[in-house]
């Protein structure tokens, strides 16, 4: 095999075939086999394949993730079947199981608390804060007016720039100030809209400073460092909760509902005060959140960054969900920041994203926020129920068993024997492999 030790020149200018051949020849002992694997994942519909190729740059093939459905989500009195894109075993099953559990106990109650999004123009100014504030007060209306060509369509939909303020950050970094803008982007996630507005604000700010009579020549040279939206959206919050009488928690694996409720509340409190637990606890919530965010063509990386920043907002990383028992009522809830869209971007391009949104009943961005939050809460409840009763591995490893059997290309007879054996024994990767080898001898 020829291992590449040199940089490649002009890779982006190569055709798709040339890119594939270069990769295959540089990195694989059997280039022909590598090319076949890459092309095996192409879509047979050339137009659809071209659409996928144009989502990003330097594409060579498609990388598939499973799309599953978690049915029976009763949210604010309406049933949803929730599309989830994820590769991790047991996540979809856990969400569906929790949804079914709560559908007979009043379902999920959700509400959007706020939908503000944030963008900032970061700039340096050599004069005094008082001078800059006076300048800003006099030019603020003109700065906003300069964005009207960009904002007029959004304003027709009830969105636009909600506020614009000057923030002094010189105590943390010399000469550093911000224009801090809040936005309402309605059903659009709004990244392009926000960034376009910010770049116009930055341009207008710089021009206004150049022509401001009260600035010296040094002060007129206001330096814009960058203009960019923030993925931290602490005022774009959705709440989801479930509640019922403690005795109504009873089911097959919850024989003592009071003990179960108390244990679950303690588990949540541990995640509230212990960051090592909180990270894994919140990761479970995000298993549900990310899966729906991906299925609906939204940016799960932006959501993850914003959610984890929010979990740290009090100075220590903590649980996103909370639980209590009060007057015999068990309540479990989550509040999370979610900047989502149901128009624009992949939502109007990716055929499966369009289908996912159809399955959800063509939701508005606010409705989608609520579905996503409910799915995250369901996932968290399912994980905590397992952790505080049977343990997390029992269900997870049974689901993972199928992956191991696929890896070792188990026959139908082998699968039957192995499934029967692990009805009474603990599943582990080593024990499954050992049994396969024993059967094959």
Which tens digit of pLDDT belongs to each residue from 244-279? Answer: 999 999 998 899 999 999 999 999 999 999 999 999
Boundaries of every domain in the chain:
1-64, 67-112+237-390, 117-230, 395-440
With CA atoms as reference, report the closest residue to 375 among 73, 51, 151, 131: 73
Give phi and psi for 188, each to the nearest 5.
Answer: -90, 145
Q: Who wins on pLDDT, 391 or 440? A: 440
CA dihedral of 304, 310, 315, 319, whole degrees rounded to 10: -80
| Single pTM value for the model | 0.88
- Catalytic: which of 299, 350, 367, 400? 299
Pick the CATH number of 67-112+237-390 from 3.30.70.920, 1.10.1060.10, 3.90.770.10, 2.170.120.20: 3.90.770.10
Catalytic residue at 283? yes
For residue 39 the two structure tokens come to 């092309």
Q: Is the domain defined by 117-230 classed in CATH 3.40.50.150? A: no
Range name among 67-81, 127-141, 272-286, 419-433 with the lowest pLDDT average:
419-433
What is residue 397's predicted lDDT score, i.e. its pLDDT?
Answer: 66
Question: Which entry of 117, 350, 396, 400 is annotated as an active-site residue?
Answer: 396
Q: What is the pLDDT of residues 101-158, one digit of tens each?
A: 999 999 999 999 999 999 999 999 999 999 999 999 999 999 999 999 999 999 999 9
Least confident of 81-85, 165-169, 254-258, 266-270: 254-258
For the chain, give the percent of residues with pLDDT over 70. 97
**88 annotated active-site:** yes
- The pair of structure tokens assigned to 122 is 């970061």
Question: Do 67-112+237-390 and 117-230 have matching folds?
Answer: no
User: For this structure, is 126 an active site residue?
Assistant: no
Q: In the numeric block, which tokens belong to residue 157?
A: 């939909």
pLDDT-derived band of residue 7, with 50, 70 and 90 as boundaries?
Answer: confident
Predicted confidence (pLDDT) at residue 399 exceeds the cutoff of 70: no
- Residue 396 annotated as catalytic: yes
Q: pLDDT by residue (tens digit) across 28-73?
A: 999 999 999 999 999 999 999 999 999 999 999 999 999 999 999 9
Alpha helices, DSSP H, located in 326-391? 351-359, 365-388
Catalytic residue (one of 16, 52, 100, 283)? 283
Greater confidence (51 vs 428) lies with 51
The one catalytic residue in 26, 53, 88, 274 is 88
| 8 Å CB contact between 41 and 59 | no
CA within 13 Å, CB half, 254: 21
For residue 1, is pLDDT > 50? no
């Amino acid at each position: 095999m020829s291992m590449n030790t040199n940089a490649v020149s002009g890779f982006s200018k190569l055709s798709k075939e040339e890119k594939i051949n270069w990769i295959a020849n540089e990195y694989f002992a059997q280039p022909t086999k590598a090319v076949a694997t890459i092309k095996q994942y192409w879509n047979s519909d050339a137009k659809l394949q071209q659409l996928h190729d144009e989502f990003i740059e330097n594409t060579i093939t498609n990388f598939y993730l499973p799309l599953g459905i978690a049915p029976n989500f009763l949210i604010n009195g309406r049933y949803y079947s929730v599309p989830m894109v994820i590769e991790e075993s047991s996540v979809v099953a856990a969400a569906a199981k929790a949804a079914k559990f709560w559908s007979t106990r009043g379902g999920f109650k959700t509400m959007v608390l706020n939908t503000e999004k944030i963008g900032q123009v970061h700039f340096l100014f050599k004069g005094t804060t008082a001078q800059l504030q006076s300048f800003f007060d006099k030019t603020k209306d003109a700065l906003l007016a300069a964005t009207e060509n960009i904002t007029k369509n959004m304003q027709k939909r009830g969105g636009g720039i909600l506020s614009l303020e000057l923030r002094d950050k010189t105590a943390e970094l010399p000469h550093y100030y911000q224009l801090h803008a809040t936005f309402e982007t309605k059903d659009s996630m709004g990244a392009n809209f926000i960034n376009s507005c910010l770049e116009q604000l930055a341009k207008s700010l710089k021009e206004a400073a150049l022509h401001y009579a009260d600035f010296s020549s040094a002060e007129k040279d206001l330096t814009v460092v960058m203009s960019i939206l923030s993925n931290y959206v602490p005022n774009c919050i959705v709440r989801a909760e479930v509640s019922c009488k403690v005795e109504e928690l009873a089911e097959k694996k919850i024989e003592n509902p009071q003990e179960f409720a108390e244990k679950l509340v303690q588990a949540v409190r541990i995640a509230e005060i212990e960051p090592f637990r909180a990270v894994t606890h919140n990761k479970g919530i995000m298993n549900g959140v990310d899966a729906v965010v991906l299925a609906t063509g939204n940016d799960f990386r932006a959501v993850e960054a914003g959610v984890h920043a929010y979990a740290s907002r009090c100075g220590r990383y903590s649980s996103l969900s909370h639980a209590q028992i009060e007057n015999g009522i068990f309540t479990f809830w989550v509040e999370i920041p979610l900047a989502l869209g149901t128009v624009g971007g992949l939502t109007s391009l990716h055929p499966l994203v369009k289908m996912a949104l159809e399955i959800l009943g063509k939701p508005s961005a606010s409705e989608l926020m609520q579905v996503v939050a409910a799915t995250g809460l369901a996932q968290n409840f399912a994980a905590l129920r397992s952790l505080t009763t049977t343990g997390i591995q029992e269900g997870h490893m049974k689901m993972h068993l199928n992956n191991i059997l696929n890896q070792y290309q188990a026959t139908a007879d082998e699968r039957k024997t192995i499934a029967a054996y692990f009805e009474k024994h603990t599943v582990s990767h080593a024990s499954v492999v050992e049994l396969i080898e024993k059967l094959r001898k």
